[in-house]
Structure 1
Amino acid sequence: MTTAAAPAPPATMRAERFAGTGRLVRLAVRRDRIRLPVWLVALTAILAFSASSVAGLYPTAAELRTVAVASAASPVALATNGLVSGYTTGAVLASQIVMPLALAAGLMTILLVVRHTRQNEETGSAELIGSAVVGRQALLTAALTVAVATNVILGAVGGFVLVVQGFPVSGSVALGAAVAGAGLAFAAVAAVAAQITDGARTANGLAGAALGVAFLLRAVGDMTGTVTGDGTRVVAGWLSWLSPIGWAEQIRPYDDNAWWVLLLPLVFSVAAGAVAVVLTGRRDIGSGLVPTRPGPARAPRGLATATGSAWRIQRTIWFWWAFGIVVLALVYGAVADQIDDFLGDGDQGDELLADLGGGGVSDLIDAYFAAIFAMMAVAVAGYAVQALLRMRGEETAGRLEPVLATALSRPRWMLAHVGLVTVGIVALQALTGAAMGLGHGLIVGDAPGHVGRLTGAALVFAPAILVVAGAVVLFIGALPAWSIALSWGVLAICLVIGLFGPLLGIPETVRNVSPFTHIPAVPAAAITAGPLVVLAVIAVALCAAGVMAFRRRDLTMS
């Protein structure tokens, strides 16, 4: 007589669900042995350079107080930099760097978690790994473990670098912890997004949309805050408390060092991470909780063309970016009439707007629009990078080779994508100007006039964005293995030296590397055609070189 085996105890069953996590962690680290160090070194270098720049630009307490007062009174500075919490060197540094670093840490973590969860399932790697002794939740747990470790390292190294540069220890640790906390929160967001969707692109888009909403909530909350005390401190509005990026700011490094605020991202991360772990047991590998809707029985006639196929691939990302751009532009336009009230009669606020916008200050509202257009143009360049890298995704996923086995040539396929992204860039810039003009016009009157004027001003930035797009095309064609890192690296350089260069004291010769530096500060400055024509020629040359390189190289599957 045989005896049935006793069921495994609950503790053993729980342990089996996480079996193999350690090996998967080592595998993820090995796969990202180049990506993660590049991210960490780049973000740490930005922090170190910003710290030295602030210390060099504002050596006296009077100068620090002046820039703090101007930043606290400017909705532009609050939207693009962050909360102001005093006028020590550390406090001024925190007001300028915590938000950008928290945003970058969130993006880094989203890409990391989705790559090691949903992308593994999409490419079939997860099913292959699952055939070994690997638990159901091991893949997700390993991805979250790597994400947590990466953000902890980022926070620790960042804090150490600041201490070495002479900043107070407590504030340096608080700043590093604030950035790490934001990264942890978006790791959990990405983990949940990877369970809901059935594709890596959709998961990245959903988590990226959450990142954009967090930025918007933080920006509106900071802009609607109140200036207190001696004018060097801003109490944010309640919307900032709904954003993980806002939580990072509320720690207020080098001022309050509010450690208790760290509980918000920690609790959120644990709760959302636990939800993601539970959701992994309620779906099949390769599928999402929200199933993909079946397509029509017959494909549209246009889908058989290169442009129709490219539009099918590109359309979702454009609509998401258009939605975010319109909302941001409406908000920025609606508060433009408050610039004079915020800045008063002081010269420091005028100079700050001139630095941000790159132009004169004869009209403060136009200088404000110039600063916002510069920031939004870099955001649209982010769309261009993400959209064009879809071509690389099609290649590595193995979907491109069957397409090119037909009569479709490589140049036609690539030019279809480049053409659509070019149209998308122009459309997003037009939407930026129109929405900003509408928001401002509805407040002050004459909406049609402001819409037309600001739409034209926004379109002036299109050539600079196209140069970034051309560089991405060149990277995909000539350096496919490095195209993702190089493309986002170019955007980061444009953001740091082009947008924040004047505030950080970056020499003009270095700032000239960014195409955005050569755009006139419209509508505060007159339009000069020369730089725009040169940028357009450079963009065409880069695209042509990328297409020719793509035509001659082998396709890759990794």
Structure 2
Amino acid sequence: MGAYYLLIGTLTVSITDFLTDNARFAELAAAAGFAGLGSVTGFAAAMFSLLAIPAGLYGAARISATAAEETSRRAVLLLAQPISRARLAGTDLAATAAGTVALLCMAGVAAWAGASTVGAPLGLGAALAGALNSAPIALLSIGAAMLALGWAPRTVLAIGALPGAGGFLLLVLAQSTGAPDWVVQLSPFAHLAAVPQTTPDWAGATGMCTVAVLLAGLGVLVYRRRDLAV
């Protein structure tokens, strides 16, 4: 991901110049939900919004690894120790969330470094803000994965991927087909501002983080009470 966003940063000027000279491509991108690609900040915002997908998949994969340890019976001895399941799940959640934030920051720094090499007007602060702007959706993926760990441990990765990959697919299809606004609003990406082109949608970010915490908390509660999946 670091290499990918380093490449994105180095291509910023070339792609924005191309879209400025070819308005039709910019119009098609706007119809699919990627407006403002003709400017450096608009292009960076669009690329950073996509960051929510791999970051969410990373979080879901980490929680899925915990489920795999249980279903393969490798975690039986650990779970038999005098350590509460809530503590184990909480530690896993904290490590996964920290890793996700580190991943987002790495992508932001890489994009800034690439943009700096070609003289694109994308500052380090703006790049980090754009990258961290996708954190609420990644946290939603972690929350959904933790809920699946409690209810259906064999489906953790699939359910954890829904907020990121599923939400993005829903947004693109809804906007491309002219679906009603309430359908568009079902996607978490509809509540994500185009940062650094604009200011963050604090209300949307707070709402998504709140839902993520509730999902994770419910998942830990159910995980603590259910039998082992073997």
TM-score, normalised to structure 1's length? 0.39
Partner of 1:538: 211
Structure 1 residue corresponding to 2:18, chosen from 342, 355, 361: 342
Residue 515 in structure 1 maps to residue 188 in structure 2: yes
Kept in 2, the 8 Å contact 1:330–1:436? The answer is yes
Cα deviation, residue 501, structure 1: 4.3
Aligned-pair RMSD on alpha carbons?
Answer: 2.3
Structure 2 residue corresponding to 1:332, chosen from 8, 15, 20: 8
Partner of 2:146: 473
Query: SS at the partner of 2:194?
Result: coil
Distance 2:44 2:58 in 1: 21
Partner of 1:382: 57
Structure 1 residue corresponding to 2:80, chosen from 405, 426, 448: 405
1:342/1:362 Cα in 2 relative to 1: closer, same or farther (>3 Å)? closer
Query: SS at the partner of 2:73?
Result: coil
Cα deviation, residue 414, structure 1: 0.8
Listed as ranges, the gaps of 5+ residues in structure 2 are none
Distance 1:352 1:423 in 2: 37
Q: How does 1:44-83 map to 2 (within 5 A)?
A: none
Distance 1:460 1:509 in 2: 23
Q: Name the count of aligned residue pairs.
A: 230
TM-score, normalised to structure 2's length? 0.89
Distance 2:199 2:53 in 1: 21
Cα deviation, residue 500, structure 1: 5.5
Partner of 1:373: 48
1:331/1:505 Cα in 2 relative to 1: closer, same or farther (>3 Å)? farther
1:330/1:501 Cα in 2 relative to 1: closer, same or farther (>3 Å)? farther
Paired amino acid for 1:366: T
Cα deviation, residue 527, structure 1: 1.7
Kept in 2, the 8 Å contact 1:375–1:499? The answer is no
Distance 1:415 1:498 in 2: 32
Cα deviation, residue 475, structure 1: 0.9
Cα deviation, residue 486, structure 1: 3.1
Structure whose CA Rg is larger: 1
Paired amino acid for 1:327: A
1:378/1:500 Cα in 2 relative to 1: closer, same or farther (>3 Å)? farther
Cα deviation, residue 356, structure 1: 5.1
Residue 460 in structure 1 maps to residue 136 in structure 2: no
Query: SS at the partner of 1:521?
Result: coil
Listed as ranges, the gaps of 5+ residues in structure 1 are 1-324
Cα deviation, residue 345, structure 1: 4.3
Q: How does 1:35-50 map to 2 (within 5 A)?
A: none
Kept in 1, the 8 Å contact 2:19–2:37? The answer is no
Deviations along 1:378-427, whole A, 9 cap, x unmatched?
Answer: 12111111111011101111122211211211011011111111011111
Partner of 1:493: 166
Structure 2 residue corresponding to 1:437, chosen from 83, 98, 112: 112
Kept in 2, the 8 Å contact 1:332–1:439? The answer is yes
Distance 2:156 2:102 in 1: 25
